[in-house]
Structure 1
Amino acid sequence: MGYAVGQVSAFAGVTVRTLHHYDRTGLLSPGGRSRAGYRQYEDVDLARLQQILFYRELGFPLDEIAEILADPQANALEHLRTRQRQLANEIARLRQLAEVDERAIEVQQTGVPLAPEERFEVFGEIAFDLSYATDAQLKWRDSKGHREAMARASAHTKEDWRRLMAEAATWRAELLAGHDDGEPADGERIMDIAEQHRLHVSRWFTPCRAEMHQRIADDPRAFALVVPPSQQRPGLAAYLAEAVHANASRRTRVKKHV
């Protein structure tokens, strides 16, 4: 049974113009004829078309496809191996581009205007969670506090970030020591450490009231910005959250007595 060019175009998902081009170049010329003398595609032609579309999907140029189909036993495997290497290289290149794009997005959403190598130098293991930054941007973009925090972060110099991170490292060391020594999270010393963190956020980003501080403490993605993976401990996130909440309650009690 033969098929007209329009029929082949419909069920193969290619345009009539493309089929005509294949015909003109000799890549795929219909071998049958209708009673009226029109050229028609036979089953063998459709099988060849399937091969052409397969190689086109892999990105082979038409002249190379013609070469493969001219002597499939001798050439197909080597061509496929070559194309596999090319695709692997292209995947690696696209991944690099995606990483560059992700870093560019990160800079925009986290307000940290440092080059990638500077970010590694300053932040080390601390990594910014883009989903956290995106959620914060979508949720708080209209709030004055969020706009102020982003503006202040963007205005920080490299030296500012160094000082900020050094201050955070000192605070983190005190937190870890308290946790590892088994000090109660709602004890005075650990609550003081929680208060230091609240003041740190206020000093470098935006006024951090108790409610905001508690939201930060309760979000595991925010915790990853506070304690790098190598320094995290089982139960440390809950320990810090408890300290933050206890400190908030303490500050409320103090205000009531003032």
Structure 2
Amino acid sequence: MTQEHEASENPAGDELLTVGTASSLIGVSVRTLHHWDHIGLVSPSGRTSTGYRQYSADDVARIHRVLVYRELGFSLTEVGEILDDPSVNESAHLERQRELLAERIDHLQQMVCAVDQMMEAQAMNKKLTPQEQSEIFGQDWNPEYQREAEERWGDTDQWEQSQQRAAKMSQEDWQRIKAEGDQLNQDLAQAARNGVEPGSERANQLAERHRESIAQFYDCTHSMQVCLATMYTQDPRFTEYYDKLEPGLADWLYRAVAENARVHGVDPDNAAWE
């Protein structure tokens, strides 16, 4: 270890830190400490025989005071004037810093409240724009899907519930949902490819994951899930979407959902939106 990274003691017995050690301890770059020394803001109390800077406990305390005043928005020149004012002692410095920090905290808390109010207002009305939806869902997203869904289900409680939940979701939430949905689709396709039998434990687990993915937006019963899965086999667009992932996947998913619903007391042949 070189002298630049060692700590030593001065004749008075105080531990002296090299600039590298002081930098690591305080979280200030060596370059910054060099600059502060150059402008006379914080000059180290000692030097090694080879000229390396050495900082005492008082030097470190002064660095911390500089950091607080800088955090409060003072320029380096102003900080130097404050710290070198002979009429102000250390206790007065600490009291003044506490007052300024308290004011800063109060101001930041007001800003937090303002942002909370903005978020609340946004949550009540925000809908993802088509551009945002495209960014999140990729090239396959079509804004017509949402308009069609509103025409079909707009008067249901589930639609209202889904709109309320969706309005509170951040872009990160949508990205998470997209990633989880992609993984679910991969797992569904793999199960169909591997010949997993609908009604088996594995198929039922996947059917439950499918229902839970929908339940992020509204409370989806097993009966509702069967209605949705039926649509996958009857609407050519949905059939094409799933069958692109794996030939016959739309039908396999319907059968997996239907058999899982049967386990939960739902007759798939008489499933209703309830």
TM-score class normalised by the smaller sequence: 0.3 to 0.5
TM-score, reference length from structure 2: 0.45
Bigger RCO (CA 8 Å, 6+ sep) = 1
TM-score by length of 1: 0.47
